[in-house]
Amino acid sequence: MLKYWKAILLVLVILATGLAYHGYNIIYGPNISDTLTETSLNLPQGTDFDTLTKILLDKDIVIDESNFRMVSKLMKFDTRRNISGRFEIV
């Protein structure tokens, strides 16, 4: 009976480790395309978060939209209004 619980615990630890790695990779993993030709982005005045996301996807800068939106929400960037100016992508 004890071996049974140890096996279940081992499987749960492995699953939790995999889930933690996946979450870490979403937040800290690369989400910018490797094939960027331009390193600057000009946003017109009055750009909101949804328009910014669309621009980044249209220019193939962001790889995964859902990861970008989730990290932006965690950083409270998705509530910003009137994002404009020139930005360097590094």
3-26 pLDDT tens trace: 899 999 999 999 999 999 998 988
Do 25 and 40 lie in one domain? The reply is: no
Do 86 and 44 lie in one domain? The reply is: yes
pLDDT value of position 52:
92
Count structural domains, the chain. Answer: 2
Per-position DSSP letters for the chain, written without gaps between them = -HHHHHHHHHHHHHHHHHHHHHHHHHHHS--B-TT-S--EEEEEEEE-HHHHHHHHHHTT-BS-HHHHHHHHHHTT-TT---EEEEEE--
Do 20 and 48 lie in one domain? The reply is: no
Do 10 and 51 lie in one domain? The reply is: no
Do 62 and 87 lie in one domain? The reply is: yes
- Quick check: 81 pLDDT over 90? no
Do 47 and 70 lie in one domain? The reply is: yes
23-63 pLDDT tens trace: 898 888 888 888 877 788 999 998 999 999 999 999 889 99
Do 19 and 38 lie in one domain? The reply is: no
- Quick check: 1 pLDDT over 90? no
Range of the domain at 14: 1-30
pLDDT value of position 37:
78
